Each structure stands twice: as C-alpha cells, then as structure tokens.
Amino acid sequence: MHALAHAILAPNPHNRQPWLIELVGSDGLRLLPDLSRMLPETDPPNRQITIGYGAFLEILEQAASVTGHALAIDTFPKGSNSEALDSRPIASVTFRSVRIASDPLASTILDRRTTRAPFDAGRAVPEELLDEMNAAIGGGAFFRWTSDKDRVAELTAINRKGWIAEVDNEATHSESAALTRIGAAEVNADPDGISLHGPLIETISATNMFTREAMKERGSFAEGQVRQFYLDVLDATATYGWLVSPGNTRDDQLRSGAQWVRLNQAATRAGIAFHPVSQVLQEFPAMAESLAEVHRQLGVDAPARIQGIFRLGYADFPEPSPRWPLASRMIET
C-alpha cells in the first residue's frame, strides 16, 4: 500500500485520476482504466490519459524500490485499442522482494509539482541543469529543449494558437469548464479536475461572476479571465522542453509517461518549475493544423511523436494538487 499511496500522486490530464486498482493475491495488482474519467473532447484517443498511466506505473516502481521491491510489469496483458481505451487492464504488476537500491528520484515524489504560473521571463534554465534532467531519463534524443529567444518566441506563438483553439472550441472548452472546481469547498468535495482556489477566487466566486456557467459564456468576465491568464502564463517563458517518442503506440505512450514524470521530478530536485503546455498536441479536429505545425516547427517526423511540451523556469512552487483517497480507487472484481 505504501507504493500505491505514492503512485496516486502521479500527474495526469485535468487531474482526472483515471485509475482503478485491483489487488491480486498477496503480491500483485492490476491497473485498470476508469472509463468514466476519460476526456472524450480534449483527448479523444486517450493518449494523454495513457501517458498518465505511465507516470502512475513509474511512481509505483520508484516507491516500491524504497521498501526493497522490484516490479514485474506486464503492460496491456489482454491487448489494447489504439483508437480509444476500453475495459481491458493497463498493466498487471507483481511485487518482488529483492536487494535493490532506492531510485534516486523517489525522494522527490511528495515534492513534485506542476506550476501553472508566470515564470521569471528573464531567467532561462542553465544548460547543465537541462542536461541533468535529460540524464534522469537515460539521455538520448527523447528530451529536447531551447532557451534561444527566437525559438522560444516561435513556441510561445504556436502554444498561444493551440490554447486559443481549445478555448474557442465549444466542446473542449465546455469539457474543461465542467471539470473546474471553484473555491476550497468544491475542491474538497471533488478533489479532482482543475482546481481554482485562494483568496481572490473565493472573493470573486462569491459574486457569481466566476462560475462554471460563466466560464462557458463568450465574452464574460470569467471566460476572459481564464483565456487571458493562460496567455500571460505562456508569455512568461524563457525555456521550453519537449518529449519525443519513436512511435505513438500505447506502449510508447506509457514509456513517455514514465519519462515525463521523471523529467518533472528532476526539475523539482533542481528547483526548476515545470508546466506542461500540451494543448497544441491534442487530437480533436480543430487542433489538427496546429498539431502538424508544431511537429514541423520542431523537426519531428512520423512515426515519431511529440508527447509533451513543457515550460521550464523559475517561480514559487504551488501547493500539491488534491487527490481522492487511495481507498476510493480500489476495486474488487
């Protein structure tokens, strides 16, 4: 249970926490998808959700190493559907007691954060720290980055375009708005989705100017605030990184999830703020042009696939994202 209590802290899209866990015997478990927690509009093929499962399995393995356990992980033991996930298991996992050194990133599990805030736009991440992040995933060409001002400006422009495409699309914007928890009471009642809380949010939500319905209303104060906040965040970026996989199979997506969270943890260890900005990588029709454009811009040709784009920089780390209790994610079949 120690490892599972840490695994549920893994990053995942819209903080949906789309995992179900079934214990098997005394030393195993099955990781199953909670199909009620998919994102059919922003993530129609469940690519981002699958990346989240990869992060879950990686954190599970790291936490298990602390207690002297290695994991045997059989991914998609009953096969998978490339178009959309179904009820088949994501992975079967067996715990084995062995002499094993703790993963050096395990100590960062509780401290890892996603920092959705403006960064110090005049402070790029030093190359040596980016090299350390790359070393955390074994090096190679999976993780790439730039602090070149012209390239950063180009990436900011395409990311702005992707964000506007998501907000302007009725279906994707409505999906995100419906999953927004506004104020501490809502966050505590439903500790998933997109959490907005703090003194300012509490004040303006009390006036009914900032509600889920208001967020959906074009031209409203709430819709304008959401739109502009993210544009301002993108503009305050001095370094971008991106994660590339050699293909886009379900196993590629799981591996990318493991690399994603290790990059995030390595950034945390180095005091670097980490913010995924992957709207431009989504697969709904209105994003197709931008998706192709960012692959051209970054020189990534099929079958390779960009799985994540990250803002990297310096800002105060936020409080941890809320989570449902582990017991709520356990099932018996």
User: Domain span at residue 28?
Assistant: 2-111
**Rounded-to-10 torsion of CA 273, 276, 280, 282:** 180
Tokens 């007691």 belong to residue: 97
Cα angle: 273, vertex 135, 268; to 5 degrees: 20
Is 169 among the domain residues? no
Task: Report whether pLDDT(139) > 90.
Answer: no
Radius of gyration of the chain (CA): 19
* Closest to 333 measured CA to CA, from 22, 87, 18, 90: 22
Position 322, amino acid:
P
Q: Is 329 helix (H, G, I), strand (E, B) or coil?
A: helix
Task: Provide the pLDDT confidence category of residue 24 given band limits of 50, 70 and 90.
Answer: very high
pTM score of the predicted model:
0.96
What is the distance between the alpha carbons of residues 77 and 61, in angstroms, rounded to a whole number?
18
- Phi first, then psi: what are they for 92, rounded to 5°? -110, 135
Question: Can you give the CATH number for the domain in which 72 is found?
Answer: 3.40.109.10
Is 146 among the domain residues? no
Give the model's pLDDT for residue 27: 96
Indicate the average pLDDT of the chain: 96
Contact 30, 91 (CB under 8 A): yes
Contact 314, 119 (CB under 8 A): yes
Task: Report whether pLDDT(333) > 80.
Answer: no
Most distant CA pair in the chain: distance in Å?
60
Contact 276, 163 (CB under 8 A): no
Give the number of domains in the chain: 1
Could you tell me the end-to-end alpha-carbon distance of the chain, in angstroms, rounded to an integer? 18
Q: Exposed, middle or buried by CB within 10 Å (0-12, 13-18, 19+), for 268?
A: buried
pLDDT tens digits along 143-163 = 999 999 999 999 999 999 999
Is 170 among the domain residues? no
pLDDT tens digits along 215-237 = 999 999 999 999 999 999 999 99
What is the distance between the alpha carbons of residues 64 and 71, in angstroms, rounded to a whole number?
8
pLDDT tens digits along 168-190 = 999 999 999 999 999 999 999 99
Is 73 among the domain residues? yes
The token duo for 19 is: 């995992």
What is the distance between the alpha carbons of residues 248 and 83, in angstroms, rounded to a whole number?
11
Task: Report whether pLDDT(54) > 80.
Answer: yes
Give the model's pLDDT for residue 296: 98
pLDDT tens digits along 84-130 = 999 999 999 999 999 889 999 999 999 999 999 999 999 999 999 99
pLDDT tens digits along 279-288 = 999 999 999 9
Tokens 């084995």 belong to residue: 96
45 CA to centre of own chain = 16
Is 149 among the domain residues? no
Residue 322 per-residue DSSP state: P
Residue 108 per-residue DSSP state: G
Q: Exposed, middle or buried by CB within 10 Å (0-12, 13-18, 19+), for 200?
A: exposed
Over residues 59-72, mean pLDDT:
97
Q: Is 259 helix (H, G, I), strand (E, B) or coil?
A: helix
Cα angle: 72, vertex 75, 76; to 5 degrees: 145
Position 207, amino acid:
T
Is 64 among the domain residues? yes
Task: Provide the pLDDT confidence category of residue 243 given band limits of 50, 70 and 90.
Answer: very high
Is 273 among the domain residues? no
Is 136 among the domain residues? no
Strand 239-245 versus strand 143-146 pairing type: antiparallel
Over residues 292-314, mean pLDDT:
98
